Structure 1
Amino acid sequence: MVNFVLVAGARLGAWAWDDVVPRLRAAGHGVHPLTLSGLAERRGVPAGQRTHVRDIVDAVEWRELRDVVLVGHSYAGIPAGQAAGRIGDRLRRVVFVDAEVPSDGASFVSVWPDGGAAVTAEIDGHGGFWPAVPAAHYAGHGLTEEQIARIVAGATPHPGATLTEPAVLARPLDELPATYVLCRLAGDEPGDAVRGLPTGPLWRRVDLDTGHWPMFSRPRELADILLDEARLNGPAARPC
């Protein structure tokens, strides 16, 4: 048995994994979807980037979890990648689902083409939060109208400081056993910030033919990938 710790991307909470959790539990594993500070049912809790890293580390340590497969989707790849280096031998694997990955000293927005100026201005104009987005934002990602409505209804503004504070890596990423799940509808190759991922034997890439929110559009397929990665101990099948 492994313990899956699932962390969804910006504006989302633990609820985003509802369609993935049953298949993982049916396979006999522990499953722990997390809501990060300031989001969903934890809205109103002050949060910066270090808060979100601590949320993940605390969830692992307080529950005394071992054989952890830590899953970070989209934005959550940034705190998940940092937390993975802090939980030591509790970590079995970290899985980045169409995610950003942390770079020491860089923030989520600093790797954007404009250096994050547009996002930072948007945060400043919305009381320190990255605002929720309309349904049109999710078009072209393999989602049904019902799935899009569900995301829009559950999304909350995202704490801005978590996007602008720099990452601090306790361990280099290439020392971590890791998988990058590339969602092909969002692009045939990882973005510039991800293209420089480690390519050594501890890392591998898996492609999924869906959009950026696979926990909604392809929950069964995503769960099966996570189950496969939990069993993985060998070398990378495909470099990032």
Structure 2
Amino acid sequence: MVNFVLVAGAWLGARAWDDVVPELRAGGHGVLPVTLSGLAERSGVPAGQQTHVQDVVDVVERRDLRDVVLVGHSYSGIPVGQAAERIGDRLRRVVFVDSNVPADGESFVSAWPDGRAAVAASIAATGGFWAPPTEADCTGQGLSDEQTGRLIAGSTPHPGATLTEPAVLERTVGELPATYVKCLLDGDAPSPDVAELLRGGLWRLVELDTGHWPMFSRPRELARVLLDAAVL
């Protein structure tokens, strides 16, 4: 038995994992979907990036979890990667699902030469938050109309400070045991920083033929990937 701690990306809370959780629990594992501060049912709670790191660490430590598989999707790869370092020998593996990965001193938007300006404009126009996705953002991501509707309905404005504050790491995430899940409809190859980490020997690459939100579009396939990662 392992303990999966599931953290969805920007705008989303724990309910994003509703279709994945039963598959993991059916295998006899502990499963804890997390809603980060300022999102979903926790909207209104002030949050910076380190708040989100601590959210994840607190779930692990308060429940005294062991054999932890931390799963970070999209934006949440940034806080999850930092939390993985901080929970020490409680960690079994990290799974980054089509996600950004943290580097010390770099923020979520550090590698976005054009996108940073767009995010900054959205944050300024939305009172310090990144505006939720629209139906247009979901086009071409392998989502049905029903899945797109659930994704959008479950999205809330994302605290802008979490996107611009730098990560704090004592060592590179390449030293952590990790699986990186690349969703091919969102680009057919990992980003250069992830490709470099994959060459380090501790990371494994898994490809899914779906879009950026596989917990909605391919939940069973994603669950199988997570179960496989847990036994590596």
TM range (shorter): over 0.9
Q: 1:68 corresponds to which letter in structure 2?
A: V
- Aligned match of 2:216: 216
- Of 134-143 and 10-19, more deviation after overlay is shown by 134-143
Distance in structure 2 (CA, Å) of the matches to 1:230 and 1:88: 17
Superposed CA offset, 1:39-93 (max 9, x none)? 0000000000000000000110001000000000000000000000000000000
Distance in structure 1 (CA, Å) of the matches to 2:8 and 2:42: 14
- Aligned match of 2:161: 161
Secondary structure at the residue paired with 2:205? Answer: strand
- Aligned match of 2:6: 6
Secondary structure at the residue paired with 2:185? Answer: helix
- Contact 2:103–2:172 (8 Å) recurs in 1: no
Distance in structure 1 (CA, Å) of the matches to 2:34 and 2:141: 24
After TM superposition, give the deviation of residue 198 of structure 1 in Å.
Answer: 4.2
Secondary structure at the residue paired with 1:28? Answer: coil
After TM superposition, give the deviation of residue 27 of structure 1 in Å.
Answer: 0.2
Normalised by the length of structure 1, the TM-score is 0.94
Distance in structure 1 (CA, Å) of the matches to 2:86 and 2:23: 28
Secondary structure at the residue paired with 2:32? Answer: strand
Distance in structure 1 (CA, Å) of the matches to 2:125 and 2:153: 22
Distance in structure 1 (CA, Å) of the matches to 2:194 and 2:10: 17
Q: Give the superposed CA RMSD.
A: 1.1
Distance in structure 1 (CA, Å) of the matches to 2:129 and 2:106: 19
- Contact 1:73–1:99 (8 Å) recurs in 2: yes
Distance in structure 2 (CA, Å) of the matches to 1:214 and 1:89: 29
Superposed CA offset, 1:134-155 (max 9, x none)? 1111010110000000111110
After TM superposition, give the deviation of residue 187 of structure 1 in Å.
Answer: 0.9
Secondary structure at the residue paired with 1:116? Answer: helix
Secondary structure at the residue paired with 1:120? Answer: helix
Distance in structure 1 (CA, Å) of the matches to 2:174 and 2:191: 18
After TM superposition, give the deviation of residue 173 of structure 1 in Å.
Answer: 1.0
Identity %: 72
How many residues in Structure 1 have an aligned counterpart in Structure 2?
232
Q: 2:41 corresponds to which letter in structure 1?
A: E
- Aligned match of 1:22: 22
- Aligned match of 2:101: 101
Distance in structure 2 (CA, Å) of the matches to 1:116 and 1:65: 36
Please show how residues 1-240 of structure 1 align to structure 2 within 5 Å: 1-114=1-114, 116-232=116-232
- Contact 1:78–1:167 (8 Å) recurs in 2: yes
After TM superposition, give the deviation of residue 193 of structure 1 in Å.
Answer: 4.4
Q: 2:89 corresponds to which letter in structure 1?
A: D
- Aligned match of 1:237: none
Q: 1:202 corresponds to which letter in structure 2?
A: L
Q: 2:48 corresponds to which letter in structure 1?
A: G
Q: 2:219 corresponds to which letter in structure 1?
A: P
Distance in structure 2 (CA, Å) of the matches to 1:135 and 1:150: 11
After TM superposition, give the deviation of residue 110 of structure 1 in Å.
Answer: 1.2
Q: Which runs of 5+ in 1 are unaligned?
A: 233-240
Q: 1:44 corresponds to which letter in structure 2?
A: G
After TM superposition, give the deviation of residue 126 of structure 1 in Å.
Answer: 1.1
After TM superposition, give the deviation of residue 133 of structure 1 in Å.
Answer: 2.2
Distance in structure 1 (CA, Å) of the matches to 2:113 and 2:181: 23
